[in-house]
Structure 1
Amino acid sequence: MINERVGYFPGHVNVGLVIGEKGAILIDSGLDTQTAKKLKKGLDAIAQPLCAIIQTHAHADHFGGNSYLLGCWPEAQVYAPPLEEAIIRYPILEPIYLNMGAEPPADLRNKFLLAPSSRVDHLLPPEGDIEIAGVPFTILSLPGHSWQQAGIVCDDICFAADSYLGEEILEKHKLPFLVDAHETIASLEKLLASRYKGYVPGHGPFTTSSQEAVSKNIDLHRKIYREIEDLLREESTLEEALARLCERLHITIENASSFVLFRTAFMGYLVGLLRQERVVYRFVQNRWLWRKNENLVQDGAEGEER
C-alpha cells in the first residue's frame, strides 16, 4: 500500500487499489483470467470484496480481467470513459480498428488485442470530481495513447494509465503505441506541470515524482517526430515510411499483431505532425504519399518546426 487507503498490485500492467466504504475499488483489471485470479487472491487476503472497477482506457491488457472478477463479484460496478466504454462492451472493435476497419483475421484475435466482453455501468466524466463507493476521485483527461484515456487521482496519488511509460519499459518499446502523438505530448505536459504526492503508470514503478520519466517520454516522442520528418524528405507511402523507421529504430516486425500496432502508432505520429503542418500528403497513381513540409521555418529556441 502507498498509504492507508491507496495502493496497487504491481505487474506487467499495474492495477490500482483503493479501499472504499464497502470494499475494494480496482483501477483496471489486467490482461486476463490468470491475472484476475491473482487479484482475487490479493483481495481475499485483505478481506476486501470488490465493489468497483474504474477503467482508464479500453486496451485488452487493462480490462481483460473484468469478466472473471465480475463473475466472482457480480454486484461490482464498472466505470469507464465514453468511447472507451463502447470497446469494453464490444471488444472486437479493437482488432477491427487496428485492421483499418476490415474483418480481423485470426492472428488479430489473441488475448493481447481481444479481451472478453465486460459490461460498463457508469460513464466517467471527461474531467473533474466523482465519488465512487464513498471515495472521492478526480478524473484527468489524458488522451493520446487512447482516444479518451483517463487518469485517476485519489488521496493525491495519480494513476496515470499509459500516458507515460516507466523508463525501462520506454527503452524497450522504441515506437510506443498511441493514436495521436500531438495529444500524447499535451497529456504528458499536463502531468509534467502536476505536483501529486505519487504517480503509478500503467507500466512501470511507483514514483513520488514523475518529472524525470515524463520528460524522457516527451523527449522520445519528439525524437521520433524528427526521425519521421527526416525520412520523409523522400516522399513515401505510409507502409514504406514505417519500414524505414523500423530499420532506424532497430525494430523487427515478425507477426500481424506487431505490424498493426506499429502501423497505428506510426499513423498517430503522422497525425500529430500533420496537425502542426510539419508533414503534407498527396495522391499519385492511386498511392497516398507523405513528405516533410519543407516550407516551415525552424524555431531555433526549441528546435521544433512551426
Structure 2
Amino acid sequence: MSHLQPEMITSRVGYFPGSVNVGVVLGESGAILVDSGLDAQTAKKIKKGLDAMAQPLVAIVQTHAHADHFGGNAYLLGCWPDALVYAPPLEEAIIRCPLLEPIYLGMGAQPLPELRNKFLLAEASRVDRILPTEGKVEIDGVSFTILSLPGHSWQQVGLVCDDICFAADSYFGEETLEKHKLPFLIDAHETILSLVKLVETNYTGYLPGHGPYTTAVEPILTRNIHGHRRLMDMIESILAEERTLEQGLALLCERLQLSLENMTGYVLYRTAFMGYLVGLLREERIRYRFAANQLLWSKIE
C-alpha cells in the first residue's frame, strides 16, 4: 500500500490505495473501513494512516469473504477491540471460519498444505452484524446504500456513501483484467447481471477492489462485460466436442496462454472455469452427461 494517508474523494469518503483498495468513511466517532486488505502488514499501514488522522476504527464493512479483502481484520481488531464488523450472509461464515475458503476451492476435501497460504486462508475474524444484501444501513451516523452484486462471490455487496460507490470485485480495472486473463468468479451469468446493474447507475464516482477510482465507469464496465462474454464464447467453442472439466480447462489455458504451475493457481482457475460453465448452463448454451464414469460437457447445437 503506497500511502499511509487515504486519498479523500469527498470530505468524509476516501480510500487507501493498493493492490486491494480499502475504503474509508469518516463517521461521527471514528473511521469506517470498507474491507481491510490482505494481511497484518497492510493493516499496520492502515492503522498508521488512521492514527495520523486521529480517527479510531469504529467499524469494518466487508464486501465479500475473500482472504485479500478481510485478511487485515485480525490485526485491526486487536488494536481496536470495540470496532464492529459487518458482513453479508454466507460471506460472514467464511470470515469467521476462513478454512472454508481453501475447503471449497479444494472441492470440499481436506485442503492441501499448498492451499493454506495467506492468499487463500486469512486469519479468522469475528462478525458482529449481518448486512442485508440490499437496502440501507446506518453505521456511526453514516447512511450506506447496499447493492447486491453477486457473481464474483456468492453474496458480494457494493456500498454507496455520499454518491460514491465502493464496487468491491464486481468489476476489475484494466491492469487487473490484463493480468488475470481468466478472472475469478463463481457464476459468470450473475457476474454479468451485476455489471449491467452498475451500468444502469449514475453515481458520482466508483472504486473497485482492484483498480483505479473513476468518475466515468461505463467504459471499464463495458470492457468487463465484453471480456466475460468473450470467455463464454471461447469455452462454448472448446465444448464443440465433449470434454471433461480438466480437458476443457487445459484447452482454455492453452488458448489464453496461461500456465498452471502451482496448486493455488490451479484451484483458482479451475473454480473460475466452473463458474463460466455455470453461466453457460444458466443460459442453456451447454449441457453435461455422464459416460464411462466421466462427467462430460458439450455445446448445445
What amino acid maps onto 2:208 in structure 1? P
| In 2: Cα distance, 1:253 partner to 1:237 partner | 17
Q: How far did residue 210 of structure 1 move?
A: 1.0
Structure 1: gaps of 5 or more residues: 295-306
| Residue matched to 1:234 | 241
| In 2: Cα distance, 1:99 partner to 1:169 partner | 24
Q: How far did residue 171 of structure 1 move?
A: 1.1
| In 2: Cα distance, 1:44 partner to 1:250 partner | 45
| Residue matched to 1:278 | 285
| Residue matched to 1:297 | none
- Give the CA RMSD over aligned residues: 0.4
* Corresponding residue to 2:84 among 77, 82, 86: 77
What amino acid maps onto 1:105 in structure 2? L
| Residue matched to 1:196 | 203
Per-residue CA deviations over 1:258-296 (Å, capped at 9, x if unaligned) read 0000000000000000011100110000000000000xx
* Corresponding residue to 2:135 among 125, 128, 135: 128
Q: How far did residue 181 of structure 1 move?
A: 0.3
Flag as ranges the 4+ runs of structure 1 deviating above 6 A: none
| Residue matched to 2:151 | 144
What is the identity percentage for the equivalent residue pairs of Structure 1 and Structure 2?
71
Q: Specify the SS of the correspondent of 1:91.
A: coil
| In 2: Cα distance, 1:246 partner to 1:102 partner | 24
| In 2: Cα distance, 1:13 partner to 1:242 partner | 27
| In 2: Cα distance, 1:24 partner to 1:252 partner | 42
Per-residue CA deviations over 1:182-224 (Å, capped at 9, x if unaligned) read 0000000000111000000000000002101110000000000
1:211 aligns with 2:213: no
| In 2: Cα distance, 1:276 partner to 1:69 partner | 43
Q: Specify the SS of the correspondent of 1:277.
A: coil
| Residue matched to 2:264 | 257
Q: How far did residue 36 of structure 1 move?
A: 0.2
| In 1: Cα distance, 2:274 partner to 2:41 partner | 33
TM-score relative to the length of structure 1: 0.96
Q: How far did residue 137 of structure 1 move?
A: 0.2
1:48 aligns with 2:47: no
Q: How far did residue 23 of structure 1 move?
A: 0.1
| Residue matched to 1:104 | 111
Per-residue CA deviations over 1:35-76 (Å, capped at 9, x if unaligned) read 000000000111100000000000000000000000000000
| Residue matched to 1:26 | 33
| In 1: Cα distance, 2:84 partner to 2:193 partner | 31
Q: Specify the SS of the correspondent of 2:254.
A: helix
Q: How far did residue 253 of structure 1 move?
A: 1.0
1:94 aligns with 2:101: yes
| In 2: Cα distance, 1:15 partner to 1:253 partner | 30
Q: Specify the SS of the correspondent of 2:10.
A: coil
* Corresponding residue to 1:175 among 175, 182, 185: 182
Q: Specify the SS of the correspondent of 1:16.
A: strand
1:59 aligns with 2:61: no
| Residue matched to 2:3 | none
Per-residue CA deviations over 1:108-149 (Å, capped at 9, x if unaligned) read 000000000000000001101110011000000000000000
| In 1: Cα distance, 2:144 partner to 2:22 partner | 16
> How many equivalent pairs are there?
294
Q: How far did residue 229 of structure 1 move?
A: 0.6
Structure 2: gaps of 5 or more residues: 1-7
| In 2: Cα distance, 1:86 partner to 1:51 partner | 21
| In 1: Cα distance, 2:127 partner to 2:27 partner | 19
Q: Specify the SS of the correspondent of 1:31.
A: coil
Per-residue CA deviations over 1:225-257 (Å, capped at 9, x if unaligned) read 000010100110001100000000010111000
Q: How far did residue 162 of structure 1 move?
A: 0.2
| In 1: Cα distance, 2:176 partner to 2:267 partner | 20
